[in-house]
């Protein structure tokens, strides 16, 4: 699949050449094109923004500049237009899985007070997304998160497909259980005894209990959509006050 990112700070995307994403680009599994929005700006000042209609603080990015940029890079019919904004829908694994099916994702990174709203209204297959309930200076960091989360779902991206299955937010929607490794003793803390027991059934049960307890304590909002809980699961959740 292919990502086309449009930003006034193309250098923000240099880290995408590192590590697994770098390898995925070298192998051709993932293509990432970064475009400088100013290529589509006009006039002596090449300005990409202007003051908000109706007044108020800050600057808004111009629809005409964005329209020319998106028209140039977008492949109509095979493309999703992803726009990072704190007022978007929450980016979660379900949305990431949907984006991973797309041939092309165009990411339009706004700065200032965002992009003229007519841009999101004009195009088909638009997803306005947010990373969470806090404010960043622009869409670049959110674009990096979206690209990494989506690219790693491509066939052959991960060395071990099993780790994709077990991790947080996949499958059942429970948080992942805690992981341990050597040394056996660290600053007076032991690895939980069950993990050294060799009893694979007991280990699986302990890990599930840990996932349930973590989810109940840290992300109770995720419990509502859980399905297929057995009586032991329910007992664990009851101990956590659910």
What is the three-class DSSP state of 18? coil
154 burial type by CB count under 10 A (0-12 exposed, 13-18 middle, 19+ buried): middle
Find the shortest distance in angstroms from Cβ 226 to ligand 6GU. 26
Of 5-13, 27-35, 137-145, 220-228: span binding ligand 6GU (CB under 6 A): 137-145
Residues paired with residue 186 on neighbouring β-strands, in sequence order:
189
List the one residue from 6, 84, 149, 212 that touches ligand 6GU (CB under 6 A): 84
Q: Annotated binding residue at 229?
A: no
Q: How far apart are CA 10 and CA 142, in angstroms?
A: 14
CB under 6 A: which stretch of 19-27, 72-80, 135-143, 204-212 binds ligand 6GU?
Answer: 135-143
Please report whether residue 139 would count as binding ligand 6GU according to CB under 6 A: yes
Give the three-state DSSP class for 61: strand
Among 59, 126, 131, 153, binds ligand 6GU (CB under 6 A): 131
Q: Does 58 bind ligand 6GU (CB under 6 A)?
A: no
- Nearer to ligand 6GU among residue 138 and residue 173 (C-beta): 138
Give me the DSSP letters along 89-136. Answer: EE--HHHHHHHTTSSEEEEE---TT-B-THHHHHSSSEEEEESSSS--
Give the CA dihedral 81, 25, 132, 216, nearest 10 degrees: 130
Binding to ligand 6GU by CB under 6 A, coded x per residue (else -) over 28-57, reads ------------------------------
Q: Which residues are annotated as a binding site for S-adenosyl-L-methionine?
A: 110, 131-136
């Amino acid at each position: 699949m292919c990502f086309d990112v449009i930003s006034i700070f193309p250098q923000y995307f240099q880290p995408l050449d590192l590590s697994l994403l770098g390898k995925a680009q070298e192998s051709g599994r993932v293509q990432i094109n970064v475009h400088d929005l100013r290529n589509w700006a006009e006039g002596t000042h090449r300005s990409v923004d202007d003051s908000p209609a109706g007044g108020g603080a800050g600057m808004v990015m111009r629809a005409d500049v964005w329209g020319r940029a998106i028209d140039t890079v977008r492949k109509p019919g095979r493309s999703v237009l992803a726009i990072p904004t704190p007022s978007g829908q929450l980016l979660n694994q379900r949305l990431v899985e949907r984006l991973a099916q797309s041939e092309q994702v165009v990411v339009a990174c706004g700065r200032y007070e965002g992009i003229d709203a007519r841009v999101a209204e004009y195009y088909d297959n638009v997803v306005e997304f947010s990373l969470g309930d806090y404010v960043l200076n622009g869409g670049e960091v959110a674009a990096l998160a979206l690209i990494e989360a989506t690219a790693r779902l491509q066939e052959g991206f991960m060395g071990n497909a099993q780790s994709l299955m077990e991790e947080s937010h996949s499958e059942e929607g429970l948080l992942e259980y805690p992981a341990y490794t050597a040394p056996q003793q660290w600053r007076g803390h032991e690895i939980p005894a069950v993990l050294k027991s060799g009893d694979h059934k007991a280990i699986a049960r302990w890990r599930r209990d840990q996932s349930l307890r973590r989810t109940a304590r840290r992300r109770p909002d995720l419990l509502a959509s859980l399905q297929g809980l057995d009586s032991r699961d329910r007992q664990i959740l009851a101990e956590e006050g659910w």
